[in-house]
Structures are given as structure tokens and as C-alpha cells.
Amino acid sequence: MNAKKLWISFMTIVRKDVLRIFKIWPQTFLPSVVTSVLYFLVFGTVLGEQIGDVDGFSYLQFVVPGLVMLAVVTNSFSDVATVFFVSKFFSRNIDEILVSPTPPSVIIAGFVGGGIVRGVLVGALVLLVSAFFVPISFAYPSVVLLFLVLSSLVFSLAGLVNGIYAKSFDGISIVPTFVLTPLVYLGGVFFSIEALPGFWRDLAAANPIFYLINGFRYGLLGLSDVPIATSIAVLVGLAAALIAANWYFIRTGLGLRQ
Amino acid sequence: MNEGKHPALVVEHVKKTYASGKEALKEVSLVIPEGDFFAFLGPNGAGKTTIIGIVTGIVDKSAGTVRVFGYDIDREPEKAKACIGVVPQEINFNIFETPLDIIVNQAGYYGISRKEAIPRAESLLRSLGIFDKKDQESRALSGGMKRRLMIARALIHKPRLLILDEPTAGVDVDLRRSMWDFLRSLTEKEGITILLTTHYLEEAEQLCKHVAIIHQGSIIESGSMKDILGKINTDSFLITLRSQVTPEIVEALAAYRAKKIDEKTIEIETDDGRGLNDAILLLNGRGFPIGDIRNKSGRLEEVFVRLTGK
Ligand SMILES: Nc1ncnc2c1ncn2[C@@H]1O[C@H](COP(=O)(O)OP(=O)(O)OP(=O)(O)O)[C@@H](O)[C@H]1O
Ligand SMILES: [Mg+2]
């Protein structure tokens, strides 16, 4: 396939997912918005006052980047994991693509593209909603955008690995609940890891989501526990490793071909 | 392109053992020339769908090579796949999508733009008689319509080799005949090579130039339809007597491989018309008046039954 055909095939996969995301918006856009509003109500009106400032920002302002990232991570991950799993397990319409000349790289790019669109849109929505509760600043707008896209990319890729591997519906709901959400909570959504004792601080540093939240927080507030370059390097490295893994799985047909 | 230089499909020493340990293909080799209309026959579980899965890239082979119009499916998978259109045995589209979307998206996977694909899809839906359903969710289609949708989907990128896995299973007689006409026109007018599997032997006899009979993962017979039918150079007749069939008369007709079919019917096999005549004389001579003689139809079925013991 030449470049134009590859592009058409890529856009076909992305377009199909994006149309689906908009069609079922109460399942795709609404939940994160509702959850965030609840957080703002609880923290803003009940707890926030009692906690006090963190590094010169109100607690609510400090929490916003983490809440946005929570939405981005879970949405991009479960979007790709679910779409891929359903098309492989239920209708088996993944075969529509497998019998076509679309190469593995474009299959990966297409599915991940849909996840990025969803991750970025939901992230933007949550950010917009938070603007009703706290003043939002954009210390480094390009960093904000970069981290929205990078984190959607990384977790779409991770979702794809999960979708390829999963053998049952449980297999794709376990990870968001038991892995992603804890990682996000422990990755410094609600606190600065500076506040943690030594061992826990080291543990947090092994959590990829920690870098993601810090990078994003840096973009919004200009505040970070680690240098921004470290955060970017960790995410890019993670994306590269996940791309390689996915490419290998699809190339060798793992979990796809019998 | 490599028009005309290579057979449509070459399968060489292909073996397949599934992860479960099931050896689905022992060692299969076959050649389908361009422009052919080829049938795979074989009982359930013989390995037909497995071969198709391997050729179309959704099943990994354990050994052997496959070439589609000269393109090796391992070395040039994209080129090989671009030549193939496939109608699978099981429905494998998303039933919540509309027929038009399903076909236009499929075109996309082959790199065909929507602008080009939409009119082409509409014309295919029209010729397959499901145009008026194009914008409904496809779960609302009947079984026969779903099959036709999959045929339209398989043709959207103008494949040179069309592979159909039991396209007429569960399709009524009228529709089956119109599908036959449609498929015939594809080979005759557009020169598309067709490979189909079917359990309706009559269908293969009607449509196909070549056949391969697969049994327990091996091809046990293959060749032109004429040759295969010629393998059975005898004709079978069903003779209904006016009286009961006795063991003695079956014995007397042993030279004709006579079999008692029911109370009053014997089946015999003869090499030519004279054999039949002799058998009739013999029956009359022994006082068995004949009520009716029928040439047993479905000769392919006969070969099939003999070879596979089914
Ligand atoms: N995914 C699979 N895993 C394990 N065994 C399989 C798998 N698919 C098919 N088989 C086995 O391989 C053999 C060949 O199956 P295949 O589907 O190729 O037969 P077929 O000739 O198409 O039969 P039918 O006429 O019933 O469609 C069967 O014994 C079947 O049980
Ligand atoms: Mg089959």
C-alpha cells in the first residue's frame, strides 16, 4: 500500500471509533465529567477549606491536574481495550481488517488514534468543567497539550495490549479498576510526594502516572516534583516500549490468529 | 501487476495443527488457475475453513507455502491480500453498523477513499438486491441478506480471487439460484477466479470447473469436474419391482453390485446401457416384473460418498 492508501486505512479506523465515541457520549464523555464535578463539590466546599494551600496554590487548584489525568488515562485505556476486545471476541470483525492489506503498524496507529481522540477530548472537558470551580491558569500551554496527547498515547497503547491479550470481558475491566485507578491515586493526584516519607517516595517514583501528573501539573501551575524533561523522557520511553510490544503481538498474530 | 503469469492460488505442503493439538490439515497442496471456478468439498470438520483462513491471513499455518497470483503470503502479505476477497462461513460484521458503512469501511482498509467507495458500494448492494436496506442497522437483515452483504463487502476492492465459504448455507432455493447466476457472471464477465466451499454437491456440479475433495485434513481427490465424475464410469439405477425383493434375486444380480434399497427397490450399477438391458432381461426371466426404472441422480454425491464413506 502506498502512503495515500495507508492514510485512508488509518483514517477509516480512527473515524469509525470517533463516530462511535460521539454516538454513545453518555458512556464516553459523561462519566468523567460527573465524577469530576463530584470531586469539586466535595473538595471545594467540604474539605478544601480545611486543607490549606499547597506550594502557594489552593488545594483545589493543586488537585485539578490529577483529576484531568485520571479521566485521560482511564478513558484512553478503556476505549482502545474495549473496542479491540469486542471486535476480536464478539462480532469477530477484527477479521475485516486482518484480511485486508492494512499492515500491523497502521492497525495499531488507527486504534490508538481513536483512544487519543477520546482521551484528549475527555481531558479537555474535565478541564473546562473545573474552570467553573477554580481559576485555571496555563503556565505552559504547550506542555499542557503535550501531556494530554502523550498520556492518551501511552494509555491507548497499554489498552491495546490489554485488548489483544484479554480472553474475557473481565480481562479488560480488571486493569482499569485494580491497576490504573490505584496508580493514579498513588501517583500524586491528591498530594505532593514531597510530603511522603523516603520509601514511599521512591515507590511513587516507579509509578509512570506520577510523571504524567507532574508533567501536566507543571504545564498548568508551573509546579513539579521532578524535572519536566524526566517526565517527558519516561513517557516517550514507555510509548516506544508499548509500540514495540503491540507491533510484535499483531505481527505474530498473538491472541488474534489461530 | 503480474497479470496472467501466475495461477490464482498455489498451496504447497500446507499443514496446520491448532493450539489445541488438533491436526486440522495433514499436508495439502493444490493449484487453482486464473479464471477457474473451483469447489472445495468435504464433510464437516474436514479442514475447508482452515485452508481458507490460512490463505486469507487469519489462521497461521504450521508449515508450507501459499502464493496468491505469485505473491507469497508470508513475504508479500499486502500484495497477496489485495488480490483476495473473502466471504466467511460465519457472519463477522458488526451487526450494529449499516450495510453501507460496513462496505465503505472495508473499502477503507484497502485504501479506497469514501468518495470512490460509496457509489461502488451502492451499485454492489443494488446488484445483490439489498440496496433498500443500506442505511438500516444490519442486525435487521435476514440470514440470506447478511450473506449477500458479505458478498458485496468481499467485492468492494475488485478482488481477482473471490473465496466463499459456504455462501449458500441456509439460503432458499430461489436465492441460491440467483446467487449462482451472480457468481457465474463474475467469472464469465469479469474474469474473477472463484473458490467456494459447499455442502450442496449439486451446486458444485452446476457451477464449478474443478473440485477438490477434502477429508480429515487431506485432499483425497481433485481434478476437473468432468474427470471426477468420470471416475465413476458406471451409472446407477434404481429399479422398483412389482413384487418383493428377495435375497436370491439380489444374489443373482451380484455382477451389477446390486443392493436392496427397500422392500421393492434394488439399486444396480452398470458400465453401459447394455448392462442395464441384461439386468432387466435377467429380472424378467426370473419372474420379477419391473414397475419403474430411474437413473440415480447426483453422481458427484456418489463419488463423494464413496470417497469419504459419509
Ligand atoms: N480454532 C480452532 N481451534 C482448534 N481446532 C479447530 C479450530 N478451528 C477448527 N478446528 C478443528 O479443525 C478441524 C477442521 O475444521 P474446519 O473448520 O477447517 O472444517 P470445515 O471443513 O470447514 O468444516 P465445516 O464444513 O463444518 O465448516 C475440525 O476438527 C475443527 O474442530
Ligand atoms: Mg467450514
| A21-30, B142-151, B264-273: least confidently modelled range | B264-273
Q: What is the pLDDT of residue B269?
A: 80
| Residue for grid cell 427397490 | B265
The pTM score is: 0.84
Q: What is the pLDDT of residue B131?
A: 95
Q: Do the Cβ atoms of B60 and A103 come within 8 Å?
A: no
Rounded-to-integer distance, Cα B241 and Cα B257, Å:
17
Three-state SS sequence of chain A? CCHHHHHHHHHHHHHHHHHHHHHCHHHHCHHHHHHHHHHHHHHHHHHHHHHCCECCECHHHHHHHHHHHHHHHHHHHHHHHHHHHHHHHCCCCHHHHHCCCCCHHHHHHHHHHHHHHHHHHHHHHHHHHHCCCCCCCCCCHHHHHHHHHHHHHHHHHHHHHHHHHCCCHHHHHHHHHHHHHHHHHHHHHCCCHHHCCHHHHHHHHCCHHHHHHHHHHHHHHCCCCCCHHHHHHHHHHHHHHHHHHHHHHHHHCCCCCC
Q: What is the pLDDT of residue A91?
A: 82
- CATH 3.40.50.720 is right for the domain spanning B234-308: no
Rounded-to-integer distance, Cα B272 and Cα B286, Å:
22
Q: How far is B71 from chain A, CA to nearest CA, in Å?
A: 13
Task: Judge whether residue A40 has pLDDT over 90.
Answer: no
Which CATH fold would you assign to the domain B9-229? Answer: Rossmann fold (3.40.50)
Q: What is the pLDDT of residue B296?
A: 67
Q: Contact A56/A139 with Cβ under 8 angstroms?
A: no
| Residue for grid cell 433498500 | B132
Q: Is B79 on the interface with A (CB under 8 A)?
A: yes
Task: Judge whether residue B297 has pLDDT over 60.
Answer: no
Q: Is B82 on the interface with A (CB under 8 A)?
A: yes
Q: Are strands B37-41 and B193-197 parallel, antiparallel or unpaired?
A: parallel
pLDDT confidence band for B4 (50 / 70 / 90): low
Question: Which of the pair, B296 or A4, is modelled with greater confidence?
Answer: A4
Task: Judge whether residue A46 has pLDDT over 90.
Answer: no
Average pLDDT, chain B: 88
* E strands in chain B: 9-17, 23-32, 37-41, 63-68, 71-72, 84-87, 161-165, 193-197, 210-215, 218-224, 235-241, 259-262, 265-270, 290-295
Of B19, B84, B111, the CB nearest to A1: B111
pLDDT confidence band for B52 (50 / 70 / 90): very high
- Average pLDDT, integer, range B103-131: 96
CA of B19 to the centre of ligand 1 (A): 12
B109 ligand 1 Cβ < 6 A: no
Q: Contact B51/B28 with Cβ under 8 angstroms?
A: yes
The count of other CB atoms within 10 Å of the CB of residue A86 is 17
Rounded-to-integer distance, Cα B2 and Cα B76, Å:
13
Question: Which of the pair, B293 or B146, is modelled with greater confidence?
Answer: B146
Rounded-to-integer distance, Cα A79 and Cα A81, Å:
6
Q: What is the pLDDT of residue B271?
A: 67
In ligand 1, the atom with minimum distance to the C-alpha of B59 is 1
Q: What digits encode the pLDDT tens for the residues B220-245?
A: 888 888 777 766 556 678 888 888 89
Which residues on chain B are in Cβ contact (under 8 Å) with A4?
A: 111
Q: Residue B200 contacts by C-beta under 8 Å, 6 or more apart in sequence?
A: B168, B176
Q: Contact B276/B269 with Cβ under 8 angstroms?
A: no
DSSP-based three-state secondary structure for B73: coil
Closest Cα to residue B60, out of B46, B77, B45, B44? Answer: B77
CA of B288 to the centre of ligand 2 (A): 47
CA of B159 to the centre of ligand 2 (A): 22
Q: What is the pLDDT of residue B113?
A: 96
Q: What digits encode the pLDDT tens for the residues A177-227?
A: 888 888 888 887 777 777 777 777 787 888 888 899 989 999 999 888 889
Q: What digits encode the pLDDT tens for the residues B134-162?
A: 999 999 999 999 999 999 999 999 999 99
Question: Which of the pair, A41 or A25, is modelled with greater confidence?
Answer: A25
Give me the residues paired with residue B162 across strands: B85, B194
Q: Do the Cβ atoms of A96 and B92 come within 8 Å?
A: yes
* Percent of chain B at pLDDT exceeding 90: 58
Q: What is the pLDDT of residue B108?
A: 97
DSSP letters, B91-141, are --S-TTS-HHHHHHHHHHHTT--HHHHHHHHHHHHHHTT-GGGTTS-GGGS
Neighbours of ion ligand 2 (CB under 5 A): B 48-49, 89
| A6-15, A58-67, A69-78: least confidently modelled range | A58-67
CA of B302 to the centre of ligand 2 (A): 21
Q: Do the Cβ atoms of B58 and A97 come within 8 Å?
A: no
Q: What is the pLDDT of residue B230?
A: 65
Q: Is B135 on the interface with A (CB under 8 A)?
A: no
Of B59, B91, B111, the CB nearest to A9: B111
Task: Judge whether residue B31 has pLDDT over 90.
Answer: yes
Of B77, B92, B113, the CB nearest to A95: B92
Nearest protein Cα to ligand 1, atom 28: B45
Task: Judge whether residue A54 has pLDDT over 90.
Answer: no
pLDDT confidence band for B273 (50 / 70 / 90): low
Q: Contact A113/A10 with Cβ under 8 angstroms?
A: yes
Domain positions in chain B: 9-229, 234-308
Q: What is the pLDDT of residue A20?
A: 93
